[in-house]
Amino acid sequence: MNLQNPKKFKMLLDQAHETALNVLRPISRKYDKAEHAYPKELNMLSALLDGMNDGGEGLNAGAAVGKRGATDAGNKNGVNMSTALGIIEMCYGDTGLLLSMPRQGLGNSAIAAVANDEQLERFKGTWAAMAITEPGCGSDSAAIRTTAIKDGDDYILNGEKIFVTSGERADSVVVWATLDKKLGRAAIKSFVVPKGTPGMTVERLEHKLGIKASDTAAISFIDCRVPAANLLGNAEIDVAKGFAGVMETFDNTRPLVAAMAVGCAKASLERIKEIFKDQLDDYATPYLQTSNIAAQIYRMEAEWEASRLLMLKAAWMADNKKPNSREASIAKAKAGRIGNEITLKCVELAASVGYNEEELLEKWARDSKILDIFEGTQQIQQLIIARRELGKSSSELK
């Protein structure tokens, strides 16, 4: 691995950084206070991102598309890497606003990872949310109870989903449902359900600690009829492969959540270094001889850098078609935990300056907590890592 940012992404990252500073930061507090209000300023920005994505590797939530049909030998830095690096810069501006960006939903990553070629073309340009979590199953995605029953050329969906990011605003929702509860996780498939489909109802929007600019919905499905062609990928139930096909989505999105945490923590670190710049000496003084404040900041920087490098490795492996389930979980677990620890510590060190709303430090601390929870909690990531390290299956290590 080359630990420097690839030169070909410099223009993209410079643009993302300027966008964070000049577009997202100025409206950050506005939409934190106006929860559930759609940030209309993002329409122009999303159109710009669309153009960048059409021109090659850009900031694209469907990062998994970079794995399709790639024949390049050797080291490849593709759309997974460019997306992760771009997300760091955008979350340096505002995490909630990034999550509100049209056509950058988690469902887009699911489409990119699982859809066949015809579906990739048909759903190109859609803004897709992802509906996985249910009232009776949180981190255990295999415990899904939403059903999809075949009826002619359609499937009929029944169930309830909660914590659906962009569930109200998105053009469509990728819904995880089981074709046969008796067959367990192997029967779970994902379906693209367009907004306005009869039987699909947004029941409520959640009031949250952070990322308030992003709408988080609870959605019910009552006899919701979806075309069979909207089942992503293969409709056949492969008991041998089990849940692996659907879970491939997470191997590509968990590094992106790690990148969000790295970006949010970067903002807090830079601000706290600016506040205490008189006590920092460009690392000239040995660590054990610095002030307590400087030592804590240097320690946070070291943890932040470790998180960033782990995230880069997971994204790089995805671009180079290397199995990265273990590395994706390591990156997400480390960055999610450290990102939250850094933002909270920066609030603490800044005291009254960090705790009031004149600064964004308190907002970054609130926003960062979700990055340690969604896409699999800290505990679930550690469980996945343990299984990979010990060579255990999910039934052997619970």
Rounded percentage of the chain residues whose pLDDT exceeds 70: 91
Provide the 3-class DSSP secondary structure of residue 115. coil
Residue 164 dihedral angles phi and psi, to the nearest 5°: -90, 105
In sign, the C-alpha dihedral spanning 210, 214, 215, 218 is negative
The pLDDT of residue 2 is 58
The pLDDT of residue 132 is 92
Q: What pLDDT digit, counting tens, does each position of 239-253 carry?
A: 655 565 567 778 888
The pLDDT of residue 70 is 47
pTM of the model: 0.93
Domain residue extents for the chain: 7-121, 127-230, 244-390
Please tell me the least confidently modeled range out of 205-209, 222-226, 314-318. 314-318
Q: What is 244-390's CATH number?
A: 1.20.140.10
Q: Which residue has the higher pLDDT, 178 or 71?
A: 178
What residues are annotated to the active site? Answer: 375
Do the domains spanning 7-121 and 127-230 agree at the CATH topology level? no
In sign, the C-alpha dihedral spanning 224, 228, 232, 235 is positive
The domain made up of 127-230 is a member of CATH 2.40.110.10: yes
Cβ atoms of 159 and 226 closer than 8 Å: no
Q: What pLDDT digit, counting tens, does each position of 323-363 carry?
A: 999 999 999 999 999 999 999 999 999 999 999 999 999 99
CATH fold for the domain made of 7-121: Butyryl-Coa Dehydrogenase, subunit A; domain 1 (1.10.540)
Residue 47 dihedral angles phi and psi, to the nearest 5°: -65, -40
Task: Give 104's contacts (C-beta < 8 A, 6+ positions apart).
Answer: 46, 49, 59, 60, 61, 98, 127
Q: What pLDDT digit, counting tens, does each position of 100-113 carry?
A: 998 888 888 888 88
In sign, the C-alpha dihedral spanning 41, 11, 365, 104 is positive
For 45, left (φ over 0), alpha (ψ -120 to 50), or beta?
alpha
Please tell me the least confidently modeled range out of 160-174, 227-241, 383-397. 227-241
Q: Which residue has the higher pLDDT, 41 or 112?
A: 41
The pLDDT of residue 65 is 47
Q: Report the pLDDT averaged over residues 64-78.
A: 60
Residue 269 dihedral angles phi and psi, to the nearest 5°: -60, -45
DSSP states of 330-373 as a string? HHHHHHHHHHHHHHHHHHHHHTHHHHSTTSSHHHHHHHHHGGGT
